């Protein structure tokens, strides 16, 4: 009877520096008491950003394990990948993601609705202006459309200002699989 020794793996996380409101850290994967890879990352304003991933034995899914562990440490935050190498981009694309609505999803839906309504009303106004002559009813209708378009453009501007650097959805790595 053969006895197999089961390898043990673990993670270590250490802060490497703190400056200007950001915390730089290194998450390492330890396998049989040897570091087999690490991810350097930054937390700034509560948001995790990946700086660099290094694994010492390719093809063993160490990079995936590191990224999943990092995501599990920040389960409600989208990881910022920044600029990636070819290998990093392959890793990013290989991950399974969950699409979650942000607190702004209703505002984005409203913005889309308003944009479509503006297009429809503009088309309707252009059709009326295309008549050979405008009746009093046409003129009244154009005034109503113009007033509504002004209101919609104001609301659209306010929403665009609110949503300037926001997202309707965030993509969280499914770290449980």
For 145-177, how does the pLDDT look when each residue is reduced to its tens digit (9 = 90+)? 999 999 999 999 999 999 999 999 999 999 987
Domain count, the chain: 2
Q: How many Å apart are CA 9 and CA 30, to the nearest integer?
A: 5
The answer on 55 and 23 residing in a single domain is yes
The answer on 111 and 92 residing in a single domain is no
Percent of the chain residues topping a pLDDT of 70: 95
Does residue 5 carry a pLDDT above 90? no
Alpha-carbon torsion 126, 128, 133, 139, what sign? negative
- The values of phi and psi at residue 101, to 5°, are -70, 145
Of 47, 67, 96, the one marking the end of a domain is: 96
Of 96, 122, 138, the one marking the end of a domain is: 96
Mean of the per-residue pLDDT values of the chain: 93
Using CB atoms within 10 A of its CB, is residue 33 exposed (0-12), middle (13-18) or buried (19+)? exposed
pLDDT value of position 71: 97
Q: How many Å apart are CA 173 and CA 177, to the nearest integer?
A: 10
Query: What would the pLDDT profile of 49-60 be if each residue is shown by its tens digit?
Result: 999 999 998 888
Tell me whether residue 167 is in a domain. Answer: no
């Amino acid at each position: 009877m053969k006895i197999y020794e089961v390898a043990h793996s673990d993670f270590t996380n250490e802060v490497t520096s703190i400056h200007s409101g950001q915390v730089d850290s290194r998450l390492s994967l330890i396998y049989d008491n040897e570091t087999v890879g690490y991810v350097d990352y930054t937390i700034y304003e509560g948001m995790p950003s990946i700086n660099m991933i290094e694994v010492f034995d390719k093809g063993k899914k160490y990079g995936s394990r590191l990224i999943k562990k990092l995501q599990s440490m920040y389960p409600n935050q989208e990881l910022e990948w920044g600029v990636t190498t070819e290998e990093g981009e392959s890793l990013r694309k290989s991950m399974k993601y969950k699409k979650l609505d942000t607190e702004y999803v209703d505002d984005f839906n409203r913005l889309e609705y308003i944009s479509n309504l503006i297009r429809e009303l503009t088309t309707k106004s252009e059709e009326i202006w295309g008549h050979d002559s405008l009746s009093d009813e046409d003129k009244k209708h154009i005034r109503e459309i113009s007033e509504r378009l002004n209101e919609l453009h104001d609301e659209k501007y306010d929403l665009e200002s609110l949503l300037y650097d926001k997202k309707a959805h965030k993509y969280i790595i499914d770290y449980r699989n």
